[in-house]
A and B are shown apart, each in its own frame.
Chain A
Amino acid sequence: MKYIAAIGKYFIMVWEVFKKPTKWPIMRSLILKEIDELIYGSMGIIIFISFFIGGVVTIQTALNLTSPFLPKSLIGFATRQSVILEFAPTFTSIIMVGKVGSYITSSIGTMRVTEQIDALEVMGVNSLNYLVFPKIIAMLFFPFAVAIAMYIGVLGGWIAAVFGGYAPSGEFIKGLQIDFIPFHVTYAFIKTLVFAFVIATIPSYFGYYMRGGALEVGKAATTSFVWTSVVIIILNYVLTQLLLG
């Protein structure tokens, strides 16, 4: 019953976010600030992780293709499919839950603890719109980050394959081009957009409705990480079944 009530409260919160919008000049600056904080500020970790994940996928694929009858181009094919379908959208989203989600929960939670949210409400500001809406809009740029993650992941795979001696460059690139289905990229971006909304709103929910003091802010950030990750994993399954199944 507690969980159903929480889900209902979450959807009411999402509805409230879009009511009584903040003045556009203020909202514009808030959105730009959040893009800088949430997306641009995460690019370093996204690039770093994508590069090495791409490399690891390539090495593991190569080490498992022991039959001499299997062409080396399969290494490139498997890397592309793994990176585009799963590693770039889902793995990057989980990383973002850890980095961005915790930031969102703790920043909004701190504002709750220090009565800054009450101050906004007393002034007549729709605090949910002011705090959460810019984060949702900023996270709409998350697919761009995932596109870069895809590119860097494949690049990492190519470097690992060529310089690790697992496949010649030509074979790897040939594998990247085999049976390419453009919808797989669309599928990845659809997933990413859904995950982006989840990453912006669930941590906001845990921050906005938290009670207590500094210790509870930390607990809320942890709980938010767990639940956002769970929702992303479940949605990943559902979306994959719906779009590719």
Chain B
Amino acid sequence: MIEVENLHKSFGETHVLKGITTNFEQGKTNLIIGQSGSGKTVFLKCLLGLFEPEQGDIRYSGQLYADLSGDERRDLRQDMGMVFQGSALFDSMTVEENVRFPLEMFTKKSKAEMKERVDTVLERVNLEDAHDKFPAEISGGMKKRVAIARAIVMNPTYLFCDEPNSGLDPKTAILIDNLIQEITREFDITTVINTHDMNSVMEIGEKIIFLKDGYKEWEGTNKEIFKTDNEAVTNFVYSSELFKKVRQMYIEERN
């Protein structure tokens, strides 16, 4: 579980995060949503420890991040998996080498043990046949799956995903969403996903935090988001014609 209390982050004169308090639950897919410029990415990077907040606390399983030493912070990072928006695979390495990389860097496993673990996670993301391919030789969806495999290979406690569906066709996007949710439940991970994809919100939004102008505007579940009266949330959710029609149908049904 990750607990965030009164988080503030600025860049020069620009105050990006303005006192966010929330928590991300273990074994659930927690979504951060909001318009571009609302502070989602900065919030995620604060959670990852890539940005140092000016004010506020972040607790990982009760441990206050600010109290951790440099070595303890690095140890904590080894307990985190991250799926980047552009996958961020090492393009000079094959799929297998990419997934094996964290094991080589941080464990004392034998080559056979590493191979077994890599095979297991690649099989888990349905990429048994891509071991020797380079990132440039595989599709966007496959890259995302490799990134997920690399993120979970160390059995992380926390999984962070930045726009995991961006650039994917709707069908592949749903596959990636479902894969992330299955892995979250299977390994009891605290998963935090930064997205503005409404399909993801509908499919896997077990807990949703809506950010607006650096504030936490709303939080709830995927069932609650379509019923809320919060104007900012409804403006965001129903910005597409499809969702406007869905809401109209819901209101008609209710009446």
Contacts and interface: CB of A to CB of B under 8 A. Distances in A.
Interface of A: 20, 22-23, 25-26, 114-116, 118-119, 121-125
B88 interface: yes
29 contacts: A23-B104, A25-B104, A26-B105, A114-B86, A114-B91, A115-B85, A115-B86, A115-B88, A116-B88, A116-B89, A116-B91, A118-B50, A118-B82, A118-B88, A119-B82, A119-B84, A119-B88, A121-B50, A121-B77, A122-B48, A122-B77, A122-B82, A122-B160, A123-B82, A123-B101, A123-B106, A124-B74, A124-B78, A125-B105
Contacts of B89: 116
Nearest to B90: A116
Q: Give 6 closest A-B pairs by Cβ, nearest first.
A: A124-B77, A115-B88, A119-B88, A124-B74, A122-B82, A115-B84
Interface residues of B, number: 21
Interface of B: 48, 50, 74-75, 77-78, 80, 82, 84-86, 88-91, 101-102, 104-106, 160
Contacts, number: 47
A122 B50 CA distance: 7
Nearest to B135: A114
A125 B80 CA distance: 12
A124 B70 CA distance: 10
B105 A123 contact: yes
Nearest to B78: A124
A63 B223 CA distance: 90
Nearest to B74: A124
Given A114-B86, A116-B90, A124-B106, A20 B74 contact: yes
